[in-house]
Amino acid sequence: MFGIMITERLQLKPLVQSDASQISSLLANDPETIEMTEDLPSPCTLEAAELWVRSKQKPGQNVFAIQLNQTGDLIGCVGIKQNGAVVHLEYWIGQKYQNNGYATEAAWAVVRNSKSLGITEVLSEVFTENKSSARVLQKLDFKHIGEITRNIPSRGGIRAMNQFQFYR
């Protein structure tokens, strides 16, 4: 696990339980962001956000709250989840902060620092309709490796996903 990461505009700090209140506030009126993730709770009440944060603090996960350097505002989360030999990059940015390059900046910090954990290959999956997330991954030199379908009951059942892969 790695600690706090600082980029030009962001601070990424390990996600802690007290972040749940900022997450629920950020996502309270943001169903579009929630729907583009596999596991953010809908609706994102304080209690649901607390459960979500707890789920991200399990072994094999390195999840970070993304904060603006200037204000300290929590604007999203980014992290890697290890499932056996496979490492997945996951991220989201609250709607009011989207389209500013924050997802790219935060995801690159995690991918760059993952080398310290011995990680040389990272996968990421995005819903096929999530063109913004696909662009983030392409900017980071992830290669599109195909489309799959997965059953995600919280998002309506069978969903098409684009898979991307990064090699160091």
Write out pLDDT tens, residues 42-94. Answer: 999 999 999 999 999 998 889 999 999 999 999 999 999 987 777 999 999 99
In sequence order, the 6+-apart residues with CB closer than 8 A to the CB of 135 are none
Q: Is the confidence at residue 113, as pLDDT, over 80?
A: yes
**CATH code at position 50:** 3.40.630.30
Query: How many CB atoms are closer than 10 A to CB 122?
Result: 22
Residue 20 structural domain: 5-167
pLDDT at 142 over 60: yes
CA 127, CA 155: separation in Å to the nearest integer? 10
Q: Distance between CA atoms of 21 and 45, rounded to whole angstroms?
A: 9
User: What is the reported pLDDT for 147?
Assistant: 97
Q: How many domains does the chain have?
A: 1
Output the average pLDDT for the chain.
94
What's the whole-model pTM score?
0.94
Strand order in the sheet with 5-6: 5-6, 10-14, 61-68, 74-83, 86-93, 121-127, 157-167, 143-152
